[in-house]
Amino acid sequence: MSTSAAAPPGAAFPGHAGAGGQAAIRTADDLKAWLQLACAPGVGPVAVRLLLDAFGLPQQVLAQSAAALSAVIPARLARAVLAGPAAGLPALVERTLDWLHTPGNHLLTLADDAYPARLFDLHDPPPLLYIKGDPALLARPAVAIVGARSATGQGKRDAQAFGRELSESGLAVISGLALGIDAAAHAGGLLGCGGTLAVTGTGADRVYPTENLALAHEVAARGAVVTEFPLGMQGIPANFPRRNRIIAALARGVLVVEAAARSGSLITARLAAELGREVFAVPGSIHAPLSQGCHLLIRQGAKLVERTQDVLEEINLGPAPVRGEPIATARPRPASSDESEIREPADPLLAALGYDPVTLDALCERSGQPPDAIAARLLELELAGHAERLPGNLFRRLA
């Protein structure tokens, strides 16, 4: 648990002792005060920051009268701050202190040296960050990879490949622990030296969705899981836009792999642009619904990305490992002997299939084969991992 102080660039912060200095946030009473202030019902990050700016550290805030607090924040919020003990907060505070006794669990406050400075670019930086894993990962240069939960097989392969190569280049890979693109990006990030950071919309003692429970444990063991939400918080819809602002702020850039025209990933990209971060998007077929969001971002000025090098050039971190092919359009590896029939470029159905979504009728017309034969062959290709079925009874070849 870090106890040294930090401040936003160009501004003093209560308790900050300057570069290399030590703040006075060391005791259980200090942490209890932070928890009581940050977890007061209805009191969000903006109100907490106003109170800290006005009165100093949380113990000084909690020592004020309701009238004094009401001069800074609305009276109802002032009452909520001072009503902490009567609102059941002591149980949450003690539960959190017990949670901190578990190795690998950490709590960072706005006044800690280890609190990531990039979050001060937000108008509402989280007062507290609950971390399972390595807090140092929050200070590492990072790129976020986000996208659709209902991602295609190719989209997940691309996200994992980008995640792996960015991590191999020394960047931490940030995502939101959701299904689809997020999970694939984390899996790729775990394969490199940069590691991966999962920003969640639940308490640090919860995992949402439950399908990613094993992945969450692996990220916590070899990277970090971070959240601003108190222990016990469920994954309610309102939490995820708040989570997205942290993803955008921590990253040097946000890469969108697949996204529909209306997508939470586009919100993350917009927040990143507003914070001065780079925005990248992987293009796709004009017929694919999950390419529409990426194409919209490209039209709005996002950089079109085919290779990891495209990202690294923009954030000035040097070359990526040479792979020789764009990730999103890489050719299949050489076939083994038992795959030669499927991998052979002369395969008429693969040639007819291509990488854009196509209907069964169109495949019949292109290949001159009857529907029954094509359907059987498509199933073989799908089971072998060389093609996939998309919504609307569309098919496409996988890279």
Per-position DSSP letters for 245-291, written without gaps between them: HHHHHH-SEEEE-S--SS-HHHHHHHHHHHTT-EEEE----TT-GGG
Each of the 399 residues of the chain gets a pLDDT tens digit; together they read 333 333 333 333 343 333 233 333 458 888 999 999 999 988 999 999 999 999 999 999 999 999 999 999 999 999 999 986 655 678 888 999 999 999 999 999 999 989 999 999 999 999 999 999 999 999 999 999 999 999 999 999 999 999 999 999 999 999 999 999 999 999 999 999 999 999 999 999 999 999 999 999 999 999 999 999 999 999 898 899 899 999 999 999 999 999 998 888 999 999 999 999 999 999 998 888 999 999 999 999 999 999 999 999 998 754 444 434 444 433 333 333 333 333 434 577 877 787 778 888 888 888 778 887 888 788 778 777 778 887 777 888 877
Q: What backbone phi and psi angles, to 5 degrees, belong to 108?
A: -105, 140
What domains are defined for the chain? 1-102 (1.10.150), 136-329 (3.40.50.450), 337-397 (1.10.10.10)
Torsion sign (Cα): 317, 133, 240, 37: negative
How many of the other CB atoms lie within 10 Å of CB of 333? Answer: 8
Query: Helix crossing, 153-168 with 181-189: angle to 10°?
Result: 30
Q: Say if pTM beats, i.e. exceeds, 0.95.
A: no
Residue 387 · residue 349 · CB < 8 Å = no
Cα–Cα separations (whole angstroms), residue 316 to 146, 163, 252, 295, 320: 21, 17, 10, 24, 11
* Whether residue 319 has a cis bond before it, omega within 30° of 0: no
Sheet holding 387-390, edge to edge: 358-359, 394-397, 387-390
Helix (H) or strand (E) holding 78: helix 75-82
CA distance 152 to 150: 7
Give the residue among 112, 115, 111, 120 at the shortest CA–CA distance from 139.
Answer: 115
